[in-house]
């Protein structure tokens, strides 16, 4: 996701990860966001395990969505809301992408609406705390 703007714009929206983060901060000024991106599965697991005070985890696991069971286990142990987000519609893509290891861990999945998937995920979390 760190080079998102270089991926297929018709599928991913032609936007950068930074612009997604900026849009979220601008759109939800009442929320204190912490953003984290890594290309290393172990670093992601450690971040999830070490984060004790998050009300919610909104995650876009990218390809990890389909096989990263250790990340799934780390998220499953959290008492926070877990929402997973995908810019593309993973259910209309290659067969291996139809597997979502977070199916029974995340409270909600938003997919296929590019940046709107993120905006809807944050709004969903807000309704849980209203």
The yes-or-no verdict on residue 6 having pLDDT over 80 is no
40 is catalytic: no
Q: Which of 40, 86, 118, 124 is catalytic?
A: 86
Residue 44: which of 14, 65, 18 has the closest Cα?
65
Q: What is the pLDDT of residue 58?
A: 98
Q: Which of 12, 66, 67, 124 is catalytic?
A: 12
Residue 26 structure tokens: 């601008």
Q: What is the pLDDT of residue 92?
A: 86
Strand, helix or coil for residue 55: coil
Express each pLDDT in 121-130 by its tens digit: 999 999 998 7
Q: What is the pLDDT of residue 8?
A: 67
106-110: Cβ within 8 A, 24+ apart: 106/59, 106/75, 106/82, 107/81, 107/82, 107/83, 108/83, 108/84, 109/83, 109/84, 109/85, 110/83, 110/84, 110/85, 110/86
124 is catalytic: no
Instruction: Delimit the domains of the chain by residue range.
Output: 4-129
The yes/no answer on whether domain 4-129 falls in CATH 3.40.50.9100 is: yes
Express each pLDDT in 20-51 by its tens digit: 999 999 999 999 999 999 999 999 999 999 99
Per the prediction, the chain carries an average pLDDT of 92
The yes-or-no verdict on residue 108 having pLDDT over 80 is yes
């Amino acid at each position: 996701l760190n080079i998102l703007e270089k991926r297929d714009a018709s599928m991913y929206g032609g936007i950068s990860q930074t612009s997604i983060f900026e849009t979220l901060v601008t759109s939800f000024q009442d929320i204190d966001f912490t953003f984290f991106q890594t290309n290393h599965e172990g670093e992601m697991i450690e971040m999830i395990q070490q984060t004790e005070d998050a009300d919610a985890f909104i995650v876009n696991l990218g390809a990890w969505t389909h096989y990263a069971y250790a990340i799934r286990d780390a998220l499953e142990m959290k008492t926070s809301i877990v929402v997973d987000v995908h810019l593309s519609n993973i259910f209309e893509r290659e067969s291996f992408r139809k597997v979502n290891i977070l199916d029974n861990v995340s409270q909600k999945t938003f997919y296929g609406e590019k940046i709107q998937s993120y905006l809807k995920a944050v709004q969903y979390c807000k309704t849980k705390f209203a």
